[in-house]
Structure 1
């Protein structure tokens, strides 16, 4: 009765209407009782539904005219194979876009555009960071881009393949940060702007605590300028990065493109102007993609 009242308002007809199949209330200027013609008969609800299915199947078989196209829907559980079925990879390679999810409303692929700027992925935990790292290294290989991963001393990443350089010894990480900073300056001087490499900063909220101030500052330069000369940073982190005050962490908070695997209200790294006041828990595999402070819900095969 409460459900009826929320739709048609308070009416005594909700209590007095006879319980007859096809009987309903319709609200126009006033609430009226109407009788709907049922296409099939049945002794009970289960039989009516069964007869209705048979009637629909018969109509489907007899119909020879044009049919409407199927309504596109994102699968309830998105597998990696499903994801690639929705994505035009040849078009992505041509435009150098990285697909990072499906729009939950339109089912269209959502892309990160490296030439516009770097990306930050805010994960629930390290398990999600590992899955995203594996995906990004596979995409880099497909797009024929080099991959360099800078990770903290302790991490869950497995040994990388020959096409991927994984560094987690802190001295080696510092040396690579300095080398990349020098390389970026050289490419600016030589006017080299082609997209050649992805630089993954893995679990950055932990990594920055292992770096000295000089290395943090050099890393900040890479995060700010690298994408302009084809060395594109991708930061993977937890939301605790918002509590860091080093120059590199501050630089990440200015990123224009982000994939967020937690509720918008549970992180302060990236601002979204359409952040809801009340926000429900995210469904399985659902993330936010934020571009220029505007968030949309996307689905990715990362749980």
Structure 2
């Protein structure tokens, strides 16, 4: 139907030309053109269909429309020539009545002749090329001999004196019958040369002649190319675009075919005015390539200061080659539950922050905010490939809720969402309502395309990247390829090279990645983190990494009193003390001194990592007396080093007959005032239920604690109920401090 649409467009174009120049017939227009009164040439247009019986059988509606179009376009200079070998059942009343001129060569039988001429005469023709011409209703009815274009082209025939020696007999009907064959001495020719036919010569001459003429506008353009490269549609290099970048969100999509306008033009999606975008496509039809092109075009136009991207790849890893772009804050796979959870938290914070900033300037969108504040707040693009897989992700439900919020409220805040999906049913109607633009490539079920794009007559082709987009009505387009390459492998390689080139060219600030806690946190990696070094410089005792922000969490030594370490299993309790020993050992001895009172000897292997290691019960009891003396000394002189006294087992301490609990509590209460800090560990059940004086005291008076068990499984410290709370790994704990709890990753050896 593309051809018919183009023909109708040509009719409308000619009608506009005629109306503008005050004519109603092509002859009048051409006369004006010859007189120089109009500047645009307008030739006659002939529509020729060979074997139109096949066309009528395959496309009956098209054939009817074509004949009707030719009738209305006659005065506009549009003419139709139809040819068929078997007119019976093909030349109907509409075709016959709308065809003023009819030519019938020799036909098979009288019925065929009657179909064409309403007379049987054409069936009686015996001579090749002989034909009847009928004009109107027998206004002219003549027998004639058609010209033969297949003869050898011999321009110097007359000069050579070549004569036609053929002998003809004229029969009673006035027809010529050949009586002999004129071989013109061919049997005597030794060298036979291939000579072009007169038709070939005419075609060649017309071709040469048209090369000297100015090309005219074609009634319809050639079909869309299968491979369209973005570099051809937007040829500027990213270096040049970065220099003049002002934050454009006009993303190149590809090339759209507009036969109704006799045009093929570049099509864009402007996120600033058109908002979120959703693309549907069957597997292998170009979803990932569409996103690749969109991302590359946006990053070529915008520096990483102006654009941040988050890439969700729930499909076939099509977005992985783009991870090295300096604009990409982070990429996510289906199994990245921790990162996705942190992304959700980041977006909540980002939206709240932007709303607050906008309210300070009394504006409602990012464009006005940039103008009034002068701050180049970056646009955020969230790209999700194969949304179908979101249900399978562990955090899928929470992510869906976040995407719903972002797509609804994010546009004015400078946050846009692009989604690709393989099926319409995977995206809820409430979410679809937040997407102004919907695009469809070929779907598995053609009805899905109509549900997405509305009614259309286009048959979706099996061409990757070929689809429909709304340009007032559904129109065919071809997705631009993001990089040049003979095949997919070469294209991906070129894509990666350009991404790495961008990364090397950009020396400014980049978007912060989603922090992820390492599977194992070594002391070397822990101490290398800037947040840990800052904590040490601020005289803090760093305890571990916040599992959300992945930054150091610690307590200022001046604010540290004592600490309770509590767990429901031996592994977690022991590991927590080991981590404390490892970290404190890495600190300067001028800052802190570590004493380990290991009554059951379970941490004997760490005695080289502490300043003082004691396992003998009598010696430990004597040390407590020495601490009492040290407290008095420190009260007189405030120049002292912090002591960290580690007692891994409160049970062992209490069960010793020589241990005075009341005296210990007195020491305990005074020690923290002069920089002596007890870290006492024990099992939760013992601390919670034991009736000893010290156990009750620690239960009721501890304000700082490392809780190495599920918060929901204890009731000593405040907690927020979480039905999805996971059991802690052996190197995880909660820091309870200032009535709040933070989950930490502990340092391992």
TM-score normalised per structure 2: 0.33
Residue 210 in 1 paired to residue 653 in 2?
no
2:691 pairs, out of 238, 241, 245, with: 245
Superposed displacement of residue 197, structure 1: 1.6
1:52 is displaced (CA, Å) by 5.1
Q: Deviations over 1:53-111 (max 9, x none)?
A: 75244244156344624415234322221111115565444432110111122222101
Q: Which residue of structure 1 aligns with residue 498 of structure 2?
A: 58
Aligned to 1:260: 707
Match of 1:125 in 2: 570
Preserved CA contact (<8 Å) 1:177 1:218: no
Q: Where in structure 2 are there 5+ consecutive unaligned residues?
A: 1-387, 405-420, 442-464, 466-478
Change (3 A) 1:160 1:280: closer
- The structural deviation recorded for 1:211 is 4.7
Query: How many Å apart are 1:138 and its aligned residue?
Result: 0.5
How big is the shift at 1:217? 1.9
- Asked whether the equivalents of residues 199 and 232 of structure 1 are also in contact (C-alpha less than 8 Å), the reply is yes
Tell me: CA distance 1:243–1:29, structure 2 relative to 1, closer, same or farther (3 Å): same
Deviates more, 1:97-106 or 1:166-175: 166-175
* Structure 2 Cα separation of the partners of residues 68 and 159 of structure 1: 42
Q: In 2 relative to 1, CA 247–144 (structure 1 residues): closer, same or farther, beyond 3 Å?
A: same
Contact 2:582 2:747 (8 Å CA) reproduced: no
Tell me how far apart the structure 2 counterparts of residues 130 and 247 of structure 1 sit (CA, whole Å): 24
SS of the residue corresponding to residue 607 of structure 2 reads coil
- 2:513 maps to which of 67, 71, 74: 71
**In the TM superposition, what is the alpha-carbon distance from 1:48 to its structure 2 partner?**
6.8
The change in CA–CA distance for 1:39 and 1:131 in structure 2 (over 3 A counts) is farther
Aligned to 1:298: 744
Residues 121 and 260 in structure 1, CA contact (< 8 A), matched pair in contact too: yes
Cα distance change on mapping 1:193 and 1:73 into 2, 3 Å: same
Alpha-carbon distance in 2 for matches of 1:24, 1:55: 33
Residue 115 (1) aligns with residue 591 (2): no
The answer on whether the counterparts of 1:204 and 1:235 sit within 8 Å (CA) in structure 2 is: yes
Task: Report SS of the residue matched to 1:233.
Answer: strand
Which has the larger displacement, 107-116 or 54-63? 54-63
Q: 1:205 to 1:277 in 2, by over 3 A?
A: farther
Counterpart CA distance in 1 for 2:725 and 2:619 is: 42
What residue is the counterpart of 1:146 in the other structure? Answer: 593
Contact 1:120 1:258 in 2 (8 A): yes
Question: Highest Rg: 1 or 2?
Answer: 2
Cross-structure match for 2:623: 176
In structure 2, C-alpha distance between the alignment counterparts of 1:247 and 1:55, rounded to whole Å: 70
- The secondary structure found in structure 2 opposite 1:100 is strand
Relative contact order, higher structure (CA 8 A, sep 6+): 1
Q: Which residue of 2 aligns with 1:201?
A: 647
**In the aligned structure 1, how far is the partner of 2:422 from the partner of 2:587?**
65
Q: What is the root-mean-square deviation of aligned Cα atoms in Å? A: 4.2
Could you tell me how far apart the structure 2 residues matched to 1:171 and 1:113 are?
33
Q: Which whole-Å CA distance do the structure 2 matches of 1:282 and 1:33 have between them?
A: 44
Which of 205, 210, 233 is the matching residue for 2:678? 233
**TM-score normalised by L of structure 1:** 0.74
Is this contact kept in 1: 2:607–2:613, CA < 8 A?
Answer: yes
Summarize deviations over 1:247-273 as a string: whole Å, max 9, x none: 32233332222222221123345x134
Q: Is the 8 A contact 1:74 1:104 kept in 2?
A: yes
CA distance in 1, matches of 2:630, 2:722: 42
Q: Distance in 2 between matches of 1:196 and 1:262?
A: 28
Contact 1:262 1:282 in 2 (8 A): yes
1:279 aligned residue: 725
Cα pair 1:140 1:147 within 8 Å, conserved: no
Cα distance in 2, alignment partners of residues 119 and 142 from structure 1: 20
